[in-house]
Amino acid sequence: MKLTDILKKDFNRAEWETKGYELPKFDIAAVRQKTHDNPTWVHFGGGNIFRAFPAAILQDVLNTGKYDRGVIVAETFDYEVIDKAYRPYDNLSLLVSLQSAGTVEKKVIASVTESLKADMQSDDWSRLVEIFRNPSLEMISFTITEKGYSYDDADLARGMEPVFAMGKVCALLYERFKAGQLPLTVQSMDNCSHNGDKVKAGVMAYAGRWANDGLVPAAFLDYLKDESKITFPWSMIDKITPRPHEKVKELLAADGFDDNNYIETARHTFTAPFVNSEETQYLVVEDHYTNGRPPLNLGGVIYTTRDTVDKVETMKVTTCLNPLHTAMAIFGCLLGYDLISAEIRDEDIRALVQKIGYIEAMPVVTDPGILNPYEFIGAFINKRLPNPFMPDTPQRIASDTSQKLSIRFGETIKKYIARHLDMSNLVLIPLVLAAYSRYLKGIDDEGNAFAPSPDPMLEELQTIVAPLKVGSSDNDFSCLRNLYSRKDIFGVDLYEAGLGGRIEEMVRELFAGKGAVRATLHKYALAR
């Protein structure tokens, strides 16, 4: 069984379906031809998240029979992905959705009609220019990570032959400008705040420099700023797509599915002909398009206002998901866990995240109206976290914790203060912040040293807690004021907020000795 089998005239459909493989319900050849002649959507970034989410959404749309155009993928960073993960399989892939119950769903994805290298030195570049000059093009989108929107003086100085992704996109938009100032929507689908603004900033940096250098007319800048022509909507995306999983490879091999090999590029991109991902997913998009859009709402995308997108993100980042992740990361490292899916089965940890979400954060939650905060937390705790196929670790989530605490917990504390809520109702959030001191110490609950995850402020913050000794009766906890008064870390001075003294007492308990982390967590999680 190979992916390209489905394109053959003698394809044995029944064999695949008997083994649980969902196959495309549309005419693949017809969709490919229509997309080639009159493309509507180009996506930049050919990684696993694209194949598991946007491409899969479009697959569902095509299966309805209400749409007939696929998506063209363009890779901006690692061209080997095109050579090794797309073209050998005629742009087909297999999506393996990993269910929290331990079952899997297998779907052949055929919505990607072309794969191109966004490389000005490649033969593919002329095809990209052709596509961008076509009036039919409605949308370009991105999953290139937040770093992909960056630029520097050196690349800006390269003129019309940039290396960075935003420079290449700007060059293609200039082609669309020259073709008659044709309208287009530039849509980020990356997991970063106000992502549309990041695309816009990158594009405008190149366009502004080129205009100043006399390489493009000032009218090009006007075109990019004209929201009747070009828009940069915000979106909120949420889906976990880890690197190919060994268990999935074994499962597919047992089916007789031959395209189960791992692919690692020279740039250390880890991919495969198959993509494994969790079942839960969200994509909320600002509905601000200038030339129409593919009807991705038929596949579950929620189109709404910019304000609502912002509210969904605020809900996720400040109350209903990210704070719970960070709480698990800190305690998971202290309690010796190396898998999130195992950690959530710990009754104390489960109580911790449930009560932070449902009790302490919920009074100040931002309700976006389109997603229920209670249901969002429920899906996170009951479906996402226990998923045995998700090899996520507390150690990974704990990376850069100093950069996260002000958003993930500080915003909740600020809202309690602003709304004059009873600060005594905050118990477990202070406990997590107290546990951060023990985490910085790098001594787990068994008394063994561990290496805290990478963090730009790790060394500085470890110096503050250096005088403290686990199990010592002579600790001087006054050093903690130098930590918990830091607004740059926590978003507020926790002493001014009335929480500093309480956190100090919790730190005393956490540093009491071997087993103190477990005992303290159990005490407060149970009491709350």
Residue 323, sorted as left (phi over 0), alpha (psi -120 to 50) or beta, turns out to be alpha
Q: Comparing C-alpha atoms, which of 348, 343, 347 is closest to residue 329?
A: 343
| d(C-alpha 235, C-alpha 476), whole Å | 47
Separation of alpha carbons 133 and 250, rounded Å:
45
> How far is it, in rounded angstroms, from Cα 521 to Cα 99?
30
Give the pair of three-digit tokens for residue 406: 């002000």
238-254: b or e for each residue (b if 16 or more CB lie within 10 Å)?
bbbbbebbeebbebbee
Residue 392: its pLDDT value, please? 85
Q: What is the pLDDT of residue 468?
A: 96
Strands 263-264 and 270-271, bridge-based pairing: antiparallel
Helical H segments across 82-232, by residue range: 124-132, 153-156, 165-178, 195-212, 218-225
Instruction: Report pLDDT for 318.
Output: 95
Q: Residue 133 CB: number of other CB atoms within 10 A?
A: 16
**DSSP-based three-state secondary structure for 153:** helix
**pLDDT confidence of residue 387:** 86
Q: What angle do CA 354, 360, 365 make, to 5 degrees?
A: 100
Which residues make Cβ contacts (< 8 Å) with residue 8, sequence separation at least 6? none
- Report the run of H or E that residue 487 belongs to, with start and end: helix 487-490
Domains of the chain: 3-304 (3.40.50.720), 308-527 (1.10.1040.10)
**Max Cα distance, the chain (Å):** 79
pLDDT at 366: 93
**What is the residue-level pLDDT of the chain in tens, covering all 528 positions?**
999 999 999 999 999 999 999 999 999 999 999 999 999 999 999 999 999 999 999 999 999 999 999 999 999 999 999 999 999 999 999 999 988 777 889 999 999 999 999 999 999 999 999 999 999 999 999 999 999 999 999 999 999 999 999 999 999 999 999 999 999 999 999 999 999 999 999 999 999 999 999 999 999 999 999 999 999 999 999 998 888 888 889 999 999 999 999 999 999 889 999 999 988 999 999 999 999 999 999 999 999 999 999 999 999 999 999 999 999 999 999 999 999 999 999 999 999 999 999 999 999 999 999 999 999 999 999 999 998 877 789 999 999 999 999 999 999 999 999 999 999 999 999 999 999 999 999 999 999 999 999 999 999 999 999 999 999 999 999 999 999 999 999 999 999 999 999 999 999 999 999 999 999 999 999 887
pTM: 0.91
Tell me the backbone φ, ψ of residue 303, rounded to 5 degrees: -95, 135
